[in-house]
C-alpha cells in the first residue's frame, strides 16, 4: 500500500522585499511625502512605480539615483544679491 505524500509547505513570497513606500523613503531622506510627490510630478527624484494608489521605490534605483546626485564641487546657492 502506497502512503500519501505530504505536500511541501508553500513558501511565502515577499514580492515587495526590494521596494519601499513613499513614506519610508521620505523618512530615510529627511523629506516629506509631499516633496517626493512633487518630484514625481516634475519627473525629478528617484524613479518610482505605482501599484494602485501606492507609490513604491526600488531600493537599488534609489541608491543609484543618490550616487548620480554626487558632485565633485557642490554648487553653493547664494542668498540675496552679492
Continuous H helices in 1-82: 22-29, 33-41, 59-68
Question: What is the rounded CA–CA span in Å between residue 8 and residue 25?
Answer: 37
Q: pLDDT, tens digit, for every residue of 2-61? A: 666 666 666 778 999 999 999 999 999 999 999 999 999 999 999 999 999 999 999 999
In the block, cell 546626485 appears at 69
* DSSP H or E segment with residue 51: strand 49-51
Whole-model pTM? 0.72
* Strands of the 54-58 sheet, one edge to the other: 19-21, 54-58, 49-51
List the domain boundaries for the chain: 19-68
Task: Give the cell for residue 36.
Answer: 517626493
Amino acid at each position: 500500500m502506497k502512503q500519501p505524500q505530504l505536500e511541501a509547505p508553500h513558501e511565502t513570497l515577499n514580492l515587495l522585499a526590494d521596494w519601499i513606500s513613499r513614506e519610508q523613503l521620505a523618512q530615510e531622506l529627511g523629506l516629506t511625502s509631499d516633496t517626493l510627490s512633487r518630484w514625481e510630478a516634475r519627473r525629478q527624484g528617484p524613479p518610482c512605480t505605482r501599484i494602485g494608489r501606492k507609490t513604491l521605490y526600488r531600493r537599488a534605483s534609489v541608491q543609484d539615483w543618490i550616487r548620480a546626485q554626487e558632485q565633485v564641487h557642490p554648487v553653493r546657492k547664494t542668498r540675496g544679491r552679492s
